[in-house]
Amino acid sequence: MDPVMKPQNEDSYSDDERKVLRKHVTDIDGKVYCVKNLPEEVVAVLFAYVSRSPLSFRRNLLTLLGEGEIVVGDVFDVYGEDTASYAAAKEKAQKFHEKWVVGYGHSSVAEHADLKFAIEDISILGTKILEDNRLARYTEKSTRYVKFDKQHYHKPARIMQNPALAKKYVAACDALFDIYDELYPKAAEFVRKEWPKPADMKDRPYEGSVHAKACDIVRYILPASTYTMVGCSMNARVAEHAMTKLLSHPLEEGRALGESMLREGRKICPTLLKHAAHSSYHASTHDEVAKLAGELLDDVKDVQGSDERPVVIVRGDDDADAVIVAAILYEESALPFSNILEKARKMTLDEQKKVLEAYVVKKGKFEWPQRALEHVKVTTDILMDYGAFRDLQRHRMNTQTNQRVTIAHGYEVPEEIDKAGLRARYDEAMRIAADAYAAISAAYPWEAQYVVPLAYRKRTLFTWNLRNLEHVIRLRSSAQGHISYRRIAQQLYDAVAAKYPLLAFLLTVDKNEYYLGRLKSELAAEEKRAKLAKQAENS
């Protein structure tokens, strides 16, 4: 063994050891540093050792290199994926994971290996399938700032194999994109007319804003089949679960995506994704529950008389105020929670409010409240357009149960469509999509979702804790948000405030109404001033 690679004191490294460490850590002497330039499965081995080793990460790395447990190469090698050293390192790591992760089930080790997927030509519907995983991270092409390509959309194999339905499907999607393209310049011209360029604003940022506002208006017409892109990062443990779900999904696009992600992911983490495979449990559950829903429910009859309010609290703690107060005090007490909760229930309203105010009074504008608010949960049934759902789904710290995309609940119409005189063509787009959906859904209910535009409403069941709700309401009600999800955020606030008045002040909401980014109250004041000025001039 090379003597320079032998473990030394925790606080000192030889010159040669420092050369090695510079390749693989961001700081040789500090107590906080990043690990770099190692295969993902090797990083997972290194982090796994910390649970049983008294040595530091840096010393463990040197030890593993010195003892040949992980071979990354000579200290003077140029590190790269095409080197023999890289291959040797991966092979050693795979043997480690075969023993500890696969053999003994220590799957938490896989959480330190990260996979980053760049996914192109995935439908909007496909992104929602992928993003139904709580612990991953996603960045998706925006329908608000990017104009989408005409006829660049997903054509599901099952529909395309049926000549009559294929013709109807393609005709509908083509028509939706035609109307989308037709209305975009008209929407942009409407924005320019309603919001003339401010004198102090340059042409380029102004036109960029016009483009974004026009995209905002016409995005409702885009079908769920529209091809988009998404960047996805997840650790190997989450990825294995996500791939299993995809490989077992009713939609062919989901299964194909699972196969592609597994193939590419195994190039990075071959051993840690070993158990990713089709699951008969996942696959059969959809059919079994659908059969029971058909027997026990009557959607066709009952949906017409169902509650169509956008936000409905369907379940929540009756004594949420006392629970939050008790949870806040619990951290600074030695008493059991049950004792504190009993006292909190007997407190006066002023005493409870004093505790709540102390907990949030110094919270900064961009800070989350602390974790005691997580002990109260509410379940909401939300009916919103598919475009709004795309944004709210990203808040994955809540629990979500989705219904399929459908035309059953009608569609939203942005006020700008009416004001710009575009309503007739907009309604025509919705009718074309509805006709195609009705024809396709009888044979292929899953695939029929692709033809539904973002304007149509869908239901989702969300269970939130109060801390998560505070973040969502504050962020999604803000002025820069899209009107569709701003309204949902405001109605979430109203529903919580109605049920828990004392807790309402813990939530931050923007209840202002905006039009093309400007306060409606300001616009009304300007119109009033202009009217009075004109009257004075005439008199």
Number of H helices, E strands in the chain: 21, 9
Please report the pLDDT score of residue 525 as a whole number. 63
Domain that holds residue 263: 117-306+413-453
48 lies in a domain? yes
Q: Return all residues near 459 (Cβ < 8 A) that are at least 6 apart.
A: 381, 382, 383, 403, 409
Same domain, 430 and 298: yes
Cα–Cα dist 264/359, whole Å: 47
- Whether the CB-CB separation of 240 and 272 falls below 8 Å is answered with yes
CB neighbourhood size of 441 (10 A)? 18
Residue-wise pLDDT tens digits, 215-244: 999 999 999 999 999 998 888 889 999 999
Q: Which two tokens stand for residue 160?
A: 């395309």
Cα distances (angstroms) measured from residue 143 to each of 248, 256, 349, 383, 453: 28, 24, 46, 20, 12
User: What's the whole-number average pLDDT of the chain?
Assistant: 85
Please report the pLDDT score of residue 75 as a whole number. 30
Cα–Cα dist 250/140, whole Å: 23
- Most confident range, picked from 8-22, 276-290, 316-330: 316-330
> Residue range 493-515: average pLDDT?
91
Q: In what order do the strands lie in the sheet with 457-465?
A: 311-316, 377-385, 457-465, 399-402
From 455, 475, 457, select the one nearest 183 (Cα to Cα).
Answer: 455
Please report the pLDDT score of residue 12 as a whole number. 83
Please, what is the Cα angle at 92 between 90 and 93, to 5 degrees? Answer: 65
CB neighbourhood size of 199 (10 A)? 5
Cα–Cα dist 320/466, whole Å: 10
Same domain, 262 and 153: yes
Residue-wise pLDDT tens digits, 85-113: 555 555 665 565 565 454 544 556 667 77
Please report the pLDDT score of residue 107 as a whole number. 58
356 lies in a domain? no
Give, as one character, the DSSP assignment of residue 100: I
By residue count, the chain amounts to 539
Same domain, 132 and 235: yes
Question: Is residue 46 over pLDDT 90?
Answer: no
Please say which residue of 59, 80, 111 terminates a domain. 111
- Whether the CB-CB separation of 461 and 379 falls below 8 Å is answered with yes
Please, what is the Cα angle at 109 between 229 and 1, to 5 degrees? Answer: 115
Same domain, 99 and 124: no
Instruction: State phi, psi for 385 to the nearest 5 degrees.
Output: -70, 155
> Residue range 129-156: average pLDDT?
89
Same domain, 121 and 32: no
More confident residue, 520 or 150: 150
536 lies in a domain? no
Q: Return all residues near 385 (Cβ < 8 A) that are at least 6 apart.
A: 220, 411, 412, 454, 455, 456, 457, 458, 484
Question: Is residue 303 over pLDDT 90?
Answer: no
Please say which residue of 405, 436, 453 terminates a domain. 453
Please say which residue of 111, 132, 160 terminates a domain. 111
The helix (H) or strand (E) run that includes residue 251 is none
Same domain, 213 and 69: no
- Whether the CB-CB separation of 272 and 237 falls below 8 Å is answered with yes
Same domain, 67 and 142: no
Q: Return all residues near 47 (Cβ < 8 A) that are at least 6 apart.
A: 57, 109, 112
Q: Per the structure, how many domains does the chain have?
A: 2
Minimum mean pLDDT range among 34-43, 54-63, 295-304, 474-483: 295-304
Minimum mean pLDDT range among 123-127, 433-437, 478-482: 478-482
Same domain, 187 and 296: yes
More confident residue, 518 or 144: 144
Residue-wise pLDDT tens digits, 244-254: 999 999 999 99
Same domain, 294 and 200: yes
How does DSSP assign 115-182, residue by residue? EEEEEEEEEHHHHHHHT--TT-EEEE--TTT-PPPTT-B---HHHHTSHHHHHHHHHHHHHHHHHHHH
Residue-wise pLDDT tens digits, 411-457: 999 999 999 999 999 999 999 999 999 999 999 999 999 999 999 99
- Most confident range, picked from 48-62, 224-238, 321-335: 321-335
Please, what is the Cα angle at 506 between 500 and 512, to 5 degrees? Answer: 95
Give, as one character, the DSSP assignment of residue 443: T
11 lies in a domain? yes
Cα distances (angstroms) measured from residue 463 to each of 133, 376, 401: 15, 10, 9
Same domain, 78 and 142: no
170 lies in a domain? yes
Note the pTM of the prediction, 2 decimals. Answer: 0.82
Q: Return all residues near 21 (Cβ < 8 A) that are at least 6 apart.
A: 13, 28, 58, 61, 62
Q: Which two tokens stand for residue 379?
A: 């379940």
- Whether the CB-CB separation of 203 and 197 falls below 8 Å is answered with yes
Same domain, 46 and 189: no
pLDDT band at 52 (very low <50, low <70, confident <90, very high): low
Please report the pLDDT score of residue 524 as a whole number. 61
Cα distances (angstroms) measured from residue 80 to each of 38, 83, 167, 514: 9, 6, 50, 53
Give, as one character, the DSSP assignment of residue 266: T
Same domain, 59 and 153: no
Instruction: State phi, psi for 318 to the nearest 5 degrees.
Output: -70, -35
Q: Return all residues near 409 (Cβ < 8 A) that are at least 6 apart.
A: 303, 308, 383, 456, 457, 458, 459
Q: If DSSP codes are grouped into helix, strand and coil, which group holds residue 337?
A: helix
Question: Is residue 15 over pLDDT 50?
Answer: yes
CATH number of the domain within which 288 lies: 3.30.1360
Question: Is residue 332 over pLDDT 90?
Answer: yes
Cα–Cα dist 17/11, whole Å: 12
358 lies in a domain? no
Minimum mean pLDDT range among 61-70, 157-166, 388-397: 61-70
Instruction: State phi, psi for 519 to the nearest 5 degrees.
Output: -60, 130
Please report the pLDDT score of residue 104 as a whole number. 42
Q: Which two tokens stand for residue 305?
A: 């008389």
Q: If DSSP codes are grouped into helix, strand and coil, which group holds residue 283?
A: helix
149 lies in a domain? yes
438 lies in a domain? yes
Q: Which two tokens stand for residue 323?
A: 């629970």
